[in-house]
């Protein structure tokens, strides 16, 4: 039951984009088409899960063990950047088709603050390794859900007539705000 609560809270109640406002850059930048939103969601899910596991292990067995907790942020940033580079190299060798599909999105993930945010949140919430993995996967699903819904709405908006002053970023921000308010309706669940 505990893992179900972590899942529901991460996907709906405390959505990383709509409630905690982490990962806004890709949320606004890669959400003009549903297919690019799906690609970014898949790439984020993959890297987020691996980064959470690796940073959790580094925190518990290196930083905490040697009293280097003050090095958390810089070490997590370096680990995430290195992981993204390694994933990019491995995908290029092992699966060129998948590398082509995710190629544009992988470098963007290095600067996605939701990856670092989840790695730090896992430590702050004092989750164990399994809870951390569930939280990371759930957060990635929540990120993907918000991104795909927003991309679908933006595709629909592009087909409608809107006032000249609201075109582009203004209507995207208003739509994101309305979507965040819609997700606030889940706040009583957990």
Question: Looking at the domain assignment, is residue 190 inside a domain?
Answer: no
Question: Looking at the domain assignment, is residue 28 inside a domain?
Answer: no
Dihedral Cα 64, 70, 73, 77, nearest 10 deg:
-70
Question: Looking at the domain assignment, is residue 124 inside a domain?
Answer: yes
Question: Looking at the domain assignment, is residue 6 inside a domain?
Answer: no
Alpha carbon distance 92, 98 (integer Å): 8
Question: Average pLDDT of the chain?
Answer: 90
Q: Six-digit token pair at 23?
A: 């990962």
pLDDT tens-digit readout, 10-58: 999 999 999 999 988 888 887 888 888 888 888 889 889 999 999 999 9
When pLDDT is averaged across residues 137-159 and rounded to a whole number, the result is 95
Name the residue with higher pLDDT: 178 or 23: 178
Question: Looking at the domain assignment, is residue 29 inside a domain?
Answer: no
pLDDT tens-digit readout, 112-146: 889 999 999 999 999 999 999 999 999 999 999 99
Alpha carbon distance 190, 187 (integer Å): 7
Report yes or no: 83 and 58 within 8 Å, Cβ to Cβ.
Answer: no
pLDDT computed for residue 41 by the predictor: 87
- 7 has a pLDDT exceeding 80: yes
When pLDDT is averaged across residues 66-86 and rounded to a whole number, the result is 92
CB atoms within 10 A of CB 179: 18
The set of residues, in sequence order, having a beta carbon less than 8 Å from that of 51 and lying 6+ positions away, is: 79, 80, 83, 115, 118, 119, 136
Please give the tally of structural domains in the chain: 1
Alpha carbon distance 72, 25 (integer Å): 23
Question: Looking at the domain assignment, is residue 8 inside a domain?
Answer: no
- 150 has a pLDDT exceeding 90: yes
Question: Looking at the domain assignment, is residue 13 inside a domain?
Answer: no
pTM (global) more than 0.75 = yes
- 103 has a pLDDT exceeding 70: no
Q: Which residue has the tokens 């390694």?
A: 86
Cβ neighbourhood burial of 169 (10 Å; 0-12, 13-18, 19+): exposed
Residue 108 is part of which domain span?
Answer: 35-185
Question: Looking at the domain assignment, is residue 24 inside a domain?
Answer: no
Name the residue with higher pLDDT: 105 or 132: 132
């Amino acid at each position: 039951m505990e893992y179900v609560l972590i899942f529901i809270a991460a996907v709906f109640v405390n959505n990383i984009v709509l409630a905690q406002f982490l990962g806004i850059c890709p949320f606004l930048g890669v959400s003009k088409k549903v297919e690019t939103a799906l690609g970014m969601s898949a790439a984020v899910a993959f890297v987020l899960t691996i980064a959470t596991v690796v940073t959790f292990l580094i925190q518990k067995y290196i930083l905490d063990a040697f009293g280097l907790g003050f090095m958390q942020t810089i070490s997590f940033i370096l680990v995430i950047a290195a992981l993204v580079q390694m994933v990019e190299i491995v995908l290029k060798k092992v699966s060129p088709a998948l590398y082509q599909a995710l190629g544009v999105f992988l470098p963007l993930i290095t600067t996605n603050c939701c990856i670092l945010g989840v790695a730090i949140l896992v430590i702050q919430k004092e989750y164990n390794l399994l809870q951390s993995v569930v939280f990371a996967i759930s957060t990635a699903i929540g990120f993907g859900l918000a991104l795909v819904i927003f991309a679908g709405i933006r595709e629909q908006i592009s087909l409608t007539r809107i006032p000249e002053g609201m075109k582009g970023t203004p209507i995207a921000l208003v739509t994101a705000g309305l979507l965040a308010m819609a997700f606030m309706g889940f706040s009583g669940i957990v």
